[in-house]
Amino acid sequence: LTGFSLIYLIGPMFSSFFFPASLRDVVIGSSKKPGRHTVCLSNHGNDCFANSNLQALASVRSLYTYLETAITKFETTVDNNQEILQEKLKSGQITLTRRTSASEKKTLQAFILELNEPIMNHKIISPWKLLKVLEYIYKSRISRNQHDAHELLHLILETLDNEHELAKKNLDVLLKPDDDDNADLTSMPAFSFEGSTVDQIRCSRCGYIPPSISSTFLVLSLMVPQRRSVSLEDFLTESYGGGSSEYIQDYGCVKCRLLYIRDTPATAQQIGGIPALNFPQDVYNELLKYVDDPAALPHDLEETYLAGLKHVTSGITKSTQFNKLPPALTIHLSRSIYSGSNASRNSCRVILSEYIELNQINDHQDSKPTVVRYKLVAMIRHKGTHYAGHYECFKRKNIRWWGKIYQQKEKEEEQQQQQQQQPSEETLVEGISKLETEELEKCWRISDNKTWECSLKDILREESGAYLLFYERV
């Protein structure tokens, strides 16, 4: 045998004989160590849009906490009220739908747990465990063609939000309002991704500020400006901090139109092309009651008599602020630039921050806004053009937190089955608590079924590719 062949044959035997396994791991640099691997997802064609989303969602701890609490509360309430449930099912007061029977909450909870399983070796699972539930709920197939990760994320969160509202409705019907024993179970935990903004308008002519208009969001979309670079935190403050406002012309201010009616006689004739009021005297008198309080004007009066005064317009300033910031803030950086029938990708550098601070206004206008601090936990990067490309997920490891979750799950299984856990699993979970802080602070870059260790700095460098950002409240 040649020298090379001899080394090839006896090399493994030699290293095993002279080096015990633990020492060999140190010398050779084996990856048999907690935190060196994470569960990956298979890609059967164009699944990267789904894989990146599921990996990112699996890193949002408040989502798992919400799912755990919501499922426990709902199931406990149903189990404790089976007789009432059967009665109300028969009477039609409670309806079980496809959405109820194919709960995305339970499927996603199990899926998140599986993606965060502490493992020693490479492991791959299929994303279609969850995607098939979505197909069942909506009675449609998810195309295997190229997809937008933002659209799927919104669909997943919207489905969870709909399940949340349905569960709240069913619990309200199931439980009596005055049932003190079940009072804690009637209130479902708030959905961790739901936030809201409020639009504040001020008329530049009369100064009237109408009641604020609130709108909810699950994913906050930001149109990336066509600049060379922009700071994410500055951009958010600029858009939702109330510091800057948008000027809008030709707005139909209710108070301006009431003031016009007050200053114009009810029987005035058309002058210089301006239409006459020709209001009945009783209607004219009724409208004048609301000059000092336009917000109290009944909608039917406004639609019938004020909507016709289209020539009475004014300019307004409009600002948008947060009035409810969610535990988990997801930001979509919209990079599409449309020009006629063509579209291109905006490569503006969005300067990311590990922490961001946002202002949340309070119910009392005179009180100072609440400062809410967020920490970056995951990011989805898109590489390619507007029409095609590849999605990858960057996320924090959070090994110790998930290790405690698995320890608790193992204890619960032991109590239920009265069986001892396997020594290898016990050693793995215990080994997580001994990891150094430096190891715990590392992150993962995940591309379908491949993973690389990376640092937070690597994530923050992705200024031109950042597409979806996942922040958690701290």
Residues 152, 52: contact at Cβ < 8 Å?
no
Least confident of 7-11, 260-264, 324-328: 7-11
Instruction: Report pLDDT for 430.
Output: 53
Per-residue pLDDT reduced to its tens digit, 332-391: 999 888 877 788 888 899 999 999 999 998 776 556 889 999 999 999 999 988 778 899
Name the band, by pLDDT with cuts 50, 70 and 90, for residue 15.
Answer: very low
Least confident of 10-19, 239-248, 348-357: 10-19
Instruction: Report pLDDT for 266.
Output: 56
Q: d(Cα 42, Cα 128) in Å, to the nearest integer?
A: 9
Name the band, by pLDDT with cuts 50, 70 and 90, for residue 317.
Answer: very high
Strands 39-41 and 123-125: parallel
Instruction: Report pLDDT for 419.
Output: 53
Q: Is the pLDDT of residue 459 over 70?
A: yes
Least confident of 162-166, 202-206, 264-268, 414-418: 264-268
Per-residue pLDDT reduced to its tens digit, 223-236: 998 889 999 999 99
Mean pLDDT for 305-324 is 89
Name the band, by pLDDT with cuts 50, 70 and 90, for residue 14.
Answer: very low
> How does the average pLDDT of the chain come out, rounded?
80
Comparing C-alpha atoms, which of 398, 404, 403, 405 is closest to residue 444? 398
Q: Is the pLDDT of residue 12 over 80?
A: no
Instruction: For each of the domains in the chain, give its residue range(s) and CATH number, in order of start.
Output: 4-13+27-195+321-411+438-473 (3.90.70.10), 254-312 (no CATH)
Q: d(Cα 226, Cα 215) in Å, to the nearest integer?
A: 26
Instruction: Report pLDDT for 5.
Output: 43
Instruction: Report pLDDT for 196.
Output: 95
Q: d(Cα 171, Cα 81) in Å, to the nearest integer?
A: 10
Instruction: Report pLDDT for 19.
Output: 38
Instruction: Report pLDDT for 81.
Output: 79
Comparing C-alpha atoms, which of 432, 457, 454 is closest to residue 443? 454
* pTM confidence score: 0.81
Per-residue pLDDT reduced to its tens digit, 430-442: 555 555 555 556 8
Q: d(Cα 158, Cα 154) in Å, to the nearest integer?
A: 6
The b-or-e profile of 293-316 (16+ CB within 10 A means b, else e) is ebeebeeeebeebbeebeebebeb
Q: d(Cα 251, Cα 203) in Å, to the nearest integer?
A: 9
Strands 220-223 and 328-334: parallel
Instruction: Report pLDDT for 4.
Output: 40
Q: d(Cα 153, Cα 48) in Å, to the nearest integer?
A: 13
More confident: 310 or 363:
310
Per-residue pLDDT reduced to its tens digit, 173-183: 777 654 454 44
Instruction: Report pLDDT for 275.
Output: 54
Q: Is the pLDDT of residue 30 over 50?
A: no
Mean pLDDT for 317-333 is 94
Instruction: Report pLDDT for 364.
Output: 60
Q: Is the pLDDT of residue 268 over 70?
A: no
Per-residue pLDDT reduced to its tens digit, 181-223: 444 445 678 899 999 999 889 999 999 999 888 999 999 999 9
More confident: 332 or 12:
332
Q: d(Cα 470, Cα 58) in Å, to the nearest integer?
A: 11
